[in-house]
Amino acid sequence: MRSTPIADRVRGWVDAARRVVVLTGAGISTDSGIPDFRGPQGVWTRDPKAERLSDIRHYVADPEVRKASWQSRLDHPVWTARPNPGHMAIVALEQRGKLHALITQNIDGLHLRAGNSPQLVIEVHGNLHQAICLTCGWKGPMQDVLARVRAGEADPPCGECGGLLKSDTISFGQALVPEVIERAMRSARETDLLLAVGTSLQVYPVAGAAPLAKAAGAKFVIINAQATQFDSIADAVLPAPISEILPRICGDDGGVMGSAG
């Protein structure tokens, strides 16, 4: 893709920044084969009933919802997904000593798999690779529980207390971890450049990191295929493909199509 002034400007901001915070959503993982939720081909766009499986109230109250949830976990694309160039670009940003924090709404674990330091990754919605008991708090590898599902347990109980198991992720209606959210918001206040990548910026409180960083004096860049509610306050909006744009603005190559915000 040919260079454009706005892309070159964003790359210059990255080069000059000392504390870059990256906020990622489902859009960064679509090139890894994991569909997003709210996009034109999103999981919930194509099948609104699928959203029911992500509601903690239905999950706890309805055994059939839990059984369907376990079946969906068996076939989840996260198990075969690999980090794409977008993920690797953020690793490069860390290797350059510029990454202050990586706030992700994703539960796929691909940032960690790509090589970003666990100390810098803030998984605000948890991680699908781990299971948790809603009763006693036991945690363990998701694959161990899925092996029980494959062996015939449609709704496997906790081996410690017999309680309900689910993925160690935040469902609708489930409380976020206050310490995790506070860390994310603190990082937003401390950054001098916030890159919002592949996120619709609709889910709070994490979406609030954008105006928070802007109010603290940071540059704010949105990289997303669809428009967001914060495009008007962004210093730049880049709708180019994430796997192409991020390597170009985070590394030494530059130049992608973009538009000023």
**Rounded Cα gap, residues 93 and 188, in angstroms:** 17
Catalytic residue among 58, 111, 125, 129: 125
Residue 125 known to be catalytic: yes
Q: Using an 8 Å Cβ cutoff, are 11 and 249 in contact?
A: yes
Write out the DSSP string of 181-192.
HHHHHHHHHH-S
Give exposure, 69-100, as e/b (b: 16+ Cβ within 10 Å).
bbeebeebebeebebbbbbbbbbbbbeeebbb
Write out the DSSP string of 221-252.
EEE-SS--TTGGG-SEEE-S-HHHHHHHHHSS
**Nearest Cα residue to 59 out of 124, 127, 134:** 134
Q: Using an 8 Å Cβ cutoff, are 103 and 184 in contact?
A: yes
Which residues form the catalytic set? 125
